[in-house]
């Protein structure tokens, strides 16, 4: 079934650890996005990709990095986690639709807590 | 810069009452506007987009360029409408990336 997956769903780690949040989609979409969302607050775009080997930083500055080696996979990495990284991270994907903006499909999210 | 505001963080209405979730935006151009919804324990999903001009689950939204608004309306609220609602804007000048509003939590009381 076509879907967008995120693992882990919940992660509690200590300060200084390196972590990778996984995001995969089987929808055949070329565009993928990472958003950060604090509870009850708006979503902020932190990274996006329009295709393989294409990555861009979003509107919100983030210490994380991303890679896009395969179309379906868009992992996000924090080299050294800090308590300020505690948040929910949402992955999304969309397909190109000519000049029209694409609908974004969201994954279930990863709730990260850094102690 | 593009920006989306939703003035109400929480909106409570009784079942059967009309509901209006407000959304205002700022953008120098012709944006595309969306409403996304997140029900309890579910992922964020598209509710409707202004170019479709359709009614989804009884909700409608009209883009008012003069007032730069895209309010979401439903004439008779149902308990299952309780959720978090996000207004979003996409501007072609910025590579079609989305800007989301802060969200409004709608609570429909029995």
CA-based nearest residue in chain A for residue B37:
A106
At A81, is the secondary structure helix, strand, or coil? coil
User: Could you give phi then psi for residue B79, rounded to 5 degrees?
Assistant: -60, -35
CA dist A33 and A94 (Å) reads: 9
CA-closest candidate to residue A92, choices A54, A59, A49, A40: A49
Q: What is the mean predicted confidence (pLDDT) over A2-26?
A: 95
Q: Specify the higher pLDDT residue, A62 or A13.
A: A13
- Range with lowest mean pLDDT among A43-52, A74-83, B16-25, B95-104: B95-104
CA-closest candidate to residue B63, choices B35, B36, B93, B38: B35
Minimal Cβ distance to B43: which of A41, A58, A109: A109
Any chain A CB within 8 A of the CB of B43? yes
Q: How many CA atoms lie within 13 A of B89 on its CB side?
A: 27
Q: Rg (Cα) of chain A, in Å, rounded?
A: 14
**For position B41, what pLDDT does the model report?**
86
- For the stretch A17-41, pLDDT in tens is 999 999 999 998 989 999 999 877 7
Minimal Cβ distance to B97: which of A58, A107, A109: A58
Question: CB-based contacts of B66: which residues, under 8 Å, 6+ apart?
Answer: none
Place of tokens 């499909």: A105
Any chain A CB within 8 A of the CB of B44? yes
- For the stretch B49-105, pLDDT in tens is 887 778 889 999 988 989 999 999 999 999 999 999 999 988 765 455 778 999 999
CA dist A113 and A18 (Å) reads: 13
Contact A42 B101 (CB under 8 A): yes
Any chain B CB within 8 A of the CB of A43? yes
Question: CB-based contacts of B71: which residues, under 8 Å, 6+ apart?
Answer: B20, B21, B22, B23, B61, B62, B64
Q: What is the mean predicted confidence (pLDDT) over A107-111?
A: 96
Minimal Cβ distance to B97: which of A48, A99, A108: A48
CA dist B38 and A58 (Å) reads: 22
End-to-end CA distance of chain B: 41
Q: Rg (Cα) of chain B, in Å, rounded?
A: 13
- Residue B28 binned pLDDT confidence (cut-offs 50, 70, 90): confident
**For position B84, what pLDDT does the model report?**
94
**For position B94, what pLDDT does the model report?**
46
**For position B91, what pLDDT does the model report?**
72
In chain A, the largest separation of any two C-alpha atoms, in whole Å, equals 44
pLDDT at A97 over 70: no
**What residues in A contact B56, CB-CB < 8 Å?**
none
The Cα of A29 is separated from the nearest Cα of chain B by a number of Å equal to: 15
A–B interface: beta-carbon pairs under 8 A: 48
pLDDT at B45 over 80: yes
Any chain A CB within 8 A of the CB of B41? no
- Residue A100 binned pLDDT confidence (cut-offs 50, 70, 90): low
**For position A104, what pLDDT does the model report?**
87
């Amino acid at each position: 079934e076509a879907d967008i997956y995120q693992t882990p769903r919940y992660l509690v780690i200590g300060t200084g650890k390196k972590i990778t949040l996984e995001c995969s989609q089987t929808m055949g979409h070329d565009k993928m996005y990472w958003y950060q969302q604090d509870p009850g607050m708006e979503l902020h775009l932190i990274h996006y990709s329009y295709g393989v080997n294409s990555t861009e930083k979003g509107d919100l500055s983030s210490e994380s990095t991303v890679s896009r080696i395969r179309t379906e996979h868009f992992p996000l990495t924090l080299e050294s986690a800090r308590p300020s990284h505690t948040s929910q991270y949402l992955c999304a994907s969309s397909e190109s639709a000519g000049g029209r903006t694409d609908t974004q499909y969201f994954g279930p999210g990863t709730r990260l807590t850094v102690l | 810069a593009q920006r989306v505001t939703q003035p109400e963080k929480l909106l409570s209405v009784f079942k059967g009452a009309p509901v209006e979730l407000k959304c205002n935006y700022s953008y120098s151009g012709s944006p595309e506007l969306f409403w996304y919804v997140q029900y309890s324990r579910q992922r964020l999903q598209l509710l409707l987009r202004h170019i479709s001009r359709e009614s989804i689950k009884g909700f409608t939204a009209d883009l008012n360029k003069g007032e730069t608004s895209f309010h979401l309306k439903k004439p008779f609220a149902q308990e299952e409408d309780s959720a978090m609602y996000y207004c979003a804007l996409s501007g072609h000048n910025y590579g079609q990336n989305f800007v989301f509003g802060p969200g409004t939590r709608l609570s429909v009381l029995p």
